[in-house]
Amino acid sequence: MSAAFLQLEDLRVTRGGKTVLEVSKLEASAGRVTVVFGENGAGKTTLLLASAGLLDLQSGRVKLFGQSFHQGRAPAPKSLRQKIAFVFQDPYLFRRSVLKNLTYGLKIRGVAKTQRRERAEAVMQQVGISDLSGRPANDLSGGERKLVALGRALVLDPEALFLDEVTASLDDSAREQVLALIASLASERGKSILMATHLEGIAKRLKVPCINLKAGRIILG
């Protein structure tokens, strides 16, 4: 069995004095996809945000690749956050072209201009959005915005990805393409992926472990 890329220990998140997430123990293996499944309101987004060091914890801690990553107040240390990328359920995109959305993060990291474009174009082809390259991001449909957000995360070449409902709002063809890409990122490139979805059958389709969440708690079966 692969080593864990993510470990949660006695994790608790509260809002307004109410516990919305309580996980005594969770491990997700490195170099593979782990699916978090649950209906709307089950706490999937909260689990991903807490795991990625983007949410305050009432108690407990998160370990990333065996290192202490997050406990207490967010955000987690920048040095470790740079190993991960998060794709939000409702992604915020810059009011510029799709290409510039993908190259912006590389620019901040000091990547040369020619390399930025090359990497962005390669990722756009992977994700299936090359034809959107010059379009303003604010003109895109919900499904197209999801794909751009996924591309923007992948272009940074993170070690781990947190994907929140990344296949929602996609048509069947685009969903299958994204699922195939996610599977290949793990199997061929060794990426560690935690993916939240309300769509039944995704874990079975990918042949990966599934964590069932209900009312902020992991359930069996």
If you average pLDDT over residues 105-128, what whole number do you get? 95
Q: Please say if the pLDDT value at position 79 is more than 90.
A: no
pLDDT(30) > 80: yes
Over the stretch 174-183, which tens digit does the pLDDT of each residue have?
899 999 999 9
* Range 101-109, long-range pairs (CB < 8 A, 24+ positions): 101/137, 101/148, 101/152, 102/148, 102/151, 102/152, 102/155, 103/155, 104/152, 105/152, 105/155, 105/156, 106/155, 106/156, 109/156
Stretch 122-127: mean pLDDT: 95
Q: Where are the domains of the chain?
A: 1-71+159-221, 90-157
The pLDDT score that the predictor gives to residue 221 is 56
The pLDDT of 179-196, averaged and rounded, is: 95
Q: Which residues pair with 157 in a beta bridge?
A: none
Match domain 1-71+159-221 to its CATH number in 3.40.50.300, 2.60.40.10, 3.30.470.20, 1.10.3470.10: 3.40.50.300
Res. 1: pLDDT tops 60? no
Whole-number average pLDDT of the chain: 93
Q: For position 105, what pLDDT does the model report?
A: 93
172, 126 contact by CB (below 8 A)? no
Q: pLDDT tens digit string along 143-185?
A: 999 999 999 999 999 999 999 999 988 899 989 999 999 999 9
Q: What is the distance between the terminal CA atoms of the chain, rounded to a whole angstrom?
A: 21
Least confident of 33-47, 68-82, 146-160: 68-82
pLDDT for res 81: 86
59 pLDDT more than 80? yes
What residues contact residue 219 under an 8 Å CB cut-off, 6+ apart? 212, 213
